[in-house]
Amino acid sequence: MALFGETFNEQAFRQRLDRSADVVSKILDATRHPKYADDVHHQYSDKYLLAEFVTNCAAASQINCLLAIGLSSEQIKTLHSWAKTQTVSLKFQAEERCSFLREETKDVEGTTKVVEEVKVAGQTAFETTSKVVRTVTKYSWRFTGSYELTAVRGTGASADDKLRIASHEGSCELTTNKRVTPYPEVKVPAKVAEINITWLLRNLKDDAATACFSINRQHAKCHTPRRNQDVESALSHFRNFASWAGDLVSYMSELDAKQQKGRELSSASPELIFVPVLPLLEEQQPPEAEEAPALGQRQRSDLIDLASEDVEASAIEPATTSVVLGLADANRFLEEERRCIKDKFASLGQVFPSRDSLITAAAACFVVSLRHCLEVCQQLYGGLNFIECMLRKQLIAAIGKEVSPADFAEYMRFHFRKLFADAFAPKPFCFAVRRSEQHGPEGTVSIEEGGGGSSGPVVTMVARSDQAMTMQFALNASTSVSFTGHHCLHALLSHRFAGESGSKLSLVSRARQFSSMIVLVGRVVSASTFDPQHAFIVQNRDELTIPLVLSTIPTPQEFKDAIESLSPEQQRFAKAFRSMQLESTLFGIVIIQIKPQLEKVLNLPEDSLTKEIRLTQDLMQLFIKYQIPSDLLSFSGASDATAEQQLDAVKGHVQAMKTMLDESKAEEIEGRRREELFEDPFASTGTSRGAFFGGCSNTSAPTPESDCFMASDFMMGSAMPMMACCGGGGGGFGAPPPAAGFGAAQPQARGLFGAAAPASAPAFGAGFGAPQPQAQSRGLFGAAAQPTASAGGGLFGGGAQPQQQQQSASVSGFGVASSTSASAVAGAGGQFGAQPQRQEVPSQKYEGADGADDELVRDYTKVPVELDRRFEELDEDGALRPAIIKLSDSWTKSSQKALLAKAETSTLGKDEQKTEKDAAFDLLDALTKSGALAVEHASLHVVVAASHCFDKTVIETVVQGNLNPIEKVERSALIMASTIHRQPVARLLNESQQGRVSTASPALFVCDDCSS
């Protein structure tokens, strides 16, 4: 395990404690049975005592190690006196030298033998054997290493400021094959390492014989037995000491490796040395007088005792009332440690030489002492974290689970129901869009949170104003729309633990079947101006979900601290951006009801479109898809007309417009077909030109003089150039296509530009003797005249009539029948250009929660500034941050194309979002006559958000910070609620909660007294 790691490994720590359990049972009496702290019933104060116990044991153990490496009791007293006024450090300094000794040459026989045989007459006479001998030159060097451990006062400017604790010098002989020094001839210093031990010395009593570490529980930053300044200072010392000791052990190991025949310092292990830092508790302890050995049996001057008898100095309760181990137990642990160190030193003296070596027994003892110090530091770190881990486990056991941010949010909703008075209780952000209480809702708009296995509307503190406050927003650079309706100011308080909120917010808009509304999302930029950044229409069971992103800005105190040392110009620059960021926290939602505005723009009585489902759908299609001016559809008849007559007139206009659009569509299709036939007149017959002409009685191709061919027919643009003699009469201008072939019965005869010809006159171009269809009177551009006229008059001369009586007119030859400009039909639905005057609404008042009239129209842009000021005054922790609500780039829309179709889900990107916005603005432009009519049935919801941010998780906030996050978030909610409602905190609270809240957050009530 790494020393002082970020993560505490409880399992590894318990394994180390288990190895010490047998030793503890031998040290103490057989009747004693210390246990793990979490296995013994104890009080919260015992955890403080246990933290002091293990820290004092670690400090005493460190003094034991310093005594072992050469520091005497008198020197400790000297260092203790130095530490009262100046810093004291331990300084390790080493030197290395390498010098040439001699050159040696010797012959070395090789391992290879060469045998030669001499033969005479085929017989071996004798053999000779030879070996290879080579000359080797060796170069010898003397490597000398020395080090010195010194205690230094301050910077060690004079000799009196230095105190030598230990020193060593050793050497070894090295050999090389080349006369090149293996190490630098002189390396001074070879190693320098220094550690500040002022904390250790200052936590000894005046006699420098007892450790006296204690935790100041009254300090403002004392949170828990583990999280306080005293323990943090102790851990900082032991952390630095462990780093220093580890550095020296590494250097000594490198020095040992330079010996070509080293004894390896790895054998200098502190494994058998007892570590006296044990976080143990005991149910019942015998009195200390019975445990403590007589002073004559041990050398008091050499033993570091724990000062538990001085309650004021150590804050330790008497041993007879505490489950923490007593002074005598700690001294026995320390005595056992010293005994183990002496035994280890004795064994090292038998392995390592006492002198004339680079690594002697003294150096090995120095290394084993440092390694033991490392284990003590690690044990202290584990013991203190074990106490905190015990707190965490107890808290989780009490609750039954580890609380997540989502669990905490669920509790806060429950808590707010008890905290606030009924009139000011936070409410779910879910609003039904309806005209009045007597009308059913068109749909709902809500801000919902999801995550952690739960979802639902967020709760906000809301101040509602039913006064008809007038605001406006821009459709484009030249058009602004005014709207009135009730306003709601919401305060949304979120919370984050370790950067995690536990829930994801979404703006969800839902519409019922045959219902519709327009939703605008943007910012409030002034007291009377709303800036819509997004817009969309929700209709017919649509469900549009827009994820929301909350980004926080610095707290007021953080901003103030950051600009404190800036120049005036830099401060003004930062403040300017801060003001823009604060105004960006005003998230606005405008909901506009479509049906009431349709009735207004069409001059219809109120509530007349409630049950007109088909008409409403047709109107929206005409306004959105075709962008038909509202004047072409509105009622412009007599003022005394009945509601039914007015509605029938509008229906007639809508039907006439639909008929015209259908004709225009058919005309476009027909025009395209004529273009194709003009390019290839014989393409539709499926035959060649010769075969087509062969259709006549003549077997040869017709000539210009032939009765079967008339060039004038082609010049007239007719699609059927043959005369009646070839089978059938062709049409005149605008005649129907020849797809039926020659001789087919022709449709109704047409007049000029496709209008139906009168009964007395045959159609131009019709075959002679062809029967004429029954004549039907026609209006302008061929529109069929109606039998009777309604009160408002029919568009293009046609009155309102049932659907089955309508007869679609054929398209004209030149495509001019239906694409008529607005100026050409000015008399059909009212005078064009006659715009109604904009309605001026006087300033309304804001109604507070108490029902009393407050100041005139509330300037919402001042709310973030007021909140920022109150955050700075009342947020003692500096954890409440203003939040900016932004819309995600990807939206999700669920829609149903038909009643029997399944709902389909699609994703809306930036392009689709722009299309939605354009459609909504086009509809608004038609409903308001380009801003001439104000929108009366609208509502504005302004959301100002803030986030209470905790650095740790929910459990760690409680365990490590000793904070109750419920009270912290409660205070933040009251700060925001009092600002939104403009009421004192005492008035917002439920009577049963006032006493508790005044104790937990007294500053809230002091601020109320000052403001009143």
> What is residue 982's predicted lDDT score, i.e. its pLDDT?
93
The residues, any chain, with a CB within 8 Å of residue 345's CB and separated by 6 or more, are 68, 361, 365, 368
Report the chain's terminal Cα–Cα distance, integer Å. 60
Closest CA to 694 of 709, 679, 681: 709
Which of 276-280, 416-420, 617-621, 800-804 shows the lowest per-residue confidence on average (mean pLDDT)? 800-804
User: For residue 402, which phi and psi values (nearest 5 degrees)?
Assistant: -85, 120
Closest CA to 439 of 589, 596, 599: 596
Alpha-carbon gap, residue 28 to 22, rounded angstroms: 10
Asked if the model's pLDDT at residue 828 lies above 50, the reply is no
Is residue 706 very low, low, confident or very high in pLDDT (cuts 50, 70, 90)? very low
Asked if the model's pLDDT at residue 691 lies above 80, the reply is no
How are beta strands 210-211 and 305-306 bridged, if at all? parallel
> What is residue 267's predicted lDDT score, i.e. its pLDDT?
76
Alpha-carbon gap, residue 621 to 612, rounded angstroms: 14
Share of the chain residues as helix, strand and coil, in percent rounded to the nearest 5: 40, 25, 35
Is residue 761 very low, low, confident or very high in pLDDT (cuts 50, 70, 90)? very low
The residue type of 577 is F
Closest CA to 642 of 685, 676, 612, 604: 604
Mean pLDDT score, 316-342: 80
DSSP helix/strand/coil, 772? coil
Alpha-carbon gap, residue 766 to 786, rounded angstroms: 27
Q: Which residue has the higher pLDDT, 957 or 501?
A: 957
Q: Nearest 5°: CA angle at 884, between 880 and 889?
A: 140
> What is residue 842's predicted lDDT score, i.e. its pLDDT?
35
Count of CB atoms situated within 10 Å of the CB of 899: 9
Alpha-carbon gap, residue 317 to 315, rounded angstroms: 7
pLDDT single digits (tens) 832-873: 333 344 333 333 344 444 443 444 568 899 999 999 999 999
Closest CA to 982 of 466, 510, 465: 465
How much is the pTM? 0.73
Q: Among all chains, which residue has been given the structure tokens 């004894």?
A: 263
Alpha-carbon gap, residue 284 to 291, rounded angstroms: 13
Q: Which residue has the higher pLDDT, 598 or 783?
A: 598
Q: Which residues share a beta bridge with 306?
A: 211
- What is residue 352's DSSP assignment? S
In sequence order, which ranges of 69-126 are alpha helices (DSSP H)? Answer: 73-83
> What is residue 149's predicted lDDT score, i.e. its pLDDT?
94
- Positions of E strands within 842-978: 845-847, 853-856, 880-887, 891-895, 904-908, 938-950
> What is residue 414's predicted lDDT score, i.e. its pLDDT?
94
CA 439 → CA 430, 577, 658, distances in Å? 17, 46, 30
Question: CB–CB of 285/320 below 8 Å?
Answer: yes
Which of 185-194, 316-325, 735-744, 954-963 shows the lowest per-residue confidence on average (mean pLDDT)? 735-744
Q: Among all chains, which residue has been given the structure tokens 């045998």?
A: 115
Residue 255, classified by CB atoms within 10 Å of its CB into exposed (0-12), middle (13-18) or buried (19+), is buried
> What is residue 892's predicted lDDT score, i.e. its pLDDT?
95
The residues, any chain, with a CB within 8 Å of residue 382's CB and separated by 6 or more, are 8, 13, 16
Asked if the model's pLDDT at residue 416 lies above 90, the reply is yes
Mean pLDDT score, 636-645: 88
186-196: strand order across its sheet: 162-176, 123-153, 88-120, 186-196
Residue 771, classified by CB atoms within 10 Å of its CB into exposed (0-12), middle (13-18) or buried (19+), is exposed
Q: Which residue has the higher pLDDT, 322 or 514?
A: 514
Asked if the model's pLDDT at residue 791 lies above 80, the reply is no
The residues, any chain, with a CB within 8 Å of residue 290's CB and separated by 6 or more, are none
How are beta strands 853-856 and 845-847 bridged, if at all? antiparallel
> What is residue 1007's predicted lDDT score, i.e. its pLDDT?
63
Alpha-carbon gap, residue 139 to 420, rounded angstroms: 91
Alpha-carbon gap, residue 146 to 498, rounded angstroms: 51
Question: CB–CB of 516/620 below 8 Å?
Answer: yes
Torsion, Cα 842 846 851 852, to 10 degrees, reads: -80
Alpha-carbon gap, residue 335 to 340, rounded angstroms: 9
For residue 787, whether the previous peptide bond is cis, meaning omega lies within 30 degrees of 0, is no
DSSP helix/strand/coil, 292? coil
Question: CB–CB of 893/905 below 8 Å?
Answer: yes
- Most distant CA pair in the chain, distance: 157
pLDDT single digits (tens) 224-240: 999 999 999 999 999 99
Q: Nearest 5°: CA angle at 695, between 692 and 700?
A: 85
Mean pLDDT (the chain) is 80
Is residue 656 very low, low, confident or very high in pLDDT (cuts 50, 70, 90)? very high
> What is residue 284's predicted lDDT score, i.e. its pLDDT?
63
How are beta strands 443-451 and 454-457 bridged, if at all? antiparallel
Is residue 189 very low, low, confident or very high in pLDDT (cuts 50, 70, 90)? very high
Alpha-carbon gap, residue 759 to 375, rounded angstroms: 117
> What is residue 973's predicted lDDT score, i.e. its pLDDT?
95
The region, left, alpha or beta by phi > 0 then psi within -120 to 50, assigned to residue 281 is: beta
Q: Which residue has the higher pLDDT, 779 or 907?
A: 907
Mean pLDDT score, 645-673: 92
Is residue 710 very low, low, confident or very high in pLDDT (cuts 50, 70, 90)? very low
Alpha-carbon Rg for the chain in angstroms: 49
Alpha-carbon gap, residue 314 to 56, rounded angstroms: 10
User: For residue 960, which phi and psi values (nearest 5 degrees)?
Assistant: -80, -40
Alpha-carbon gap, residue 830 to 12, rounded angstroms: 89
Which of 108-117, 431-440, 930-939 shows the lowest per-residue confidence on average (mean pLDDT)? 108-117
Question: CB–CB of 529/628 below 8 Å?
Answer: no
**What percentage of residues in the chain have a pLDDT greater than 70?**
76
Asked if the model's pLDDT at residue 514 lies above 80, the reply is yes
Which of 54-58, 783-787, 813-817, 900-904 shows the lowest per-residue confidence on average (mean pLDDT)? 813-817
Mean pLDDT score, 336-362: 89
Is residue 635 very low, low, confident or very high in pLDDT (cuts 50, 70, 90)? very high
- The H-or-E segment that residue 110 falls in is strand 88-120
Q: Which residues share a beta bridge with 239?
A: none
Alpha-carbon gap, residue 50 to 315, rounded angstroms: 11
Q: Which residues share a beta bridge with 263?
A: none
Which of 120-124, 244-248, 504-508, 998-1002 shows the lowest per-residue confidence on average (mean pLDDT)? 120-124
Question: CB–CB of 974/416 below 8 Å?
Answer: no
- What is residue 324's DSSP assignment? B
> What is residue 306's predicted lDDT score, i.e. its pLDDT?
47
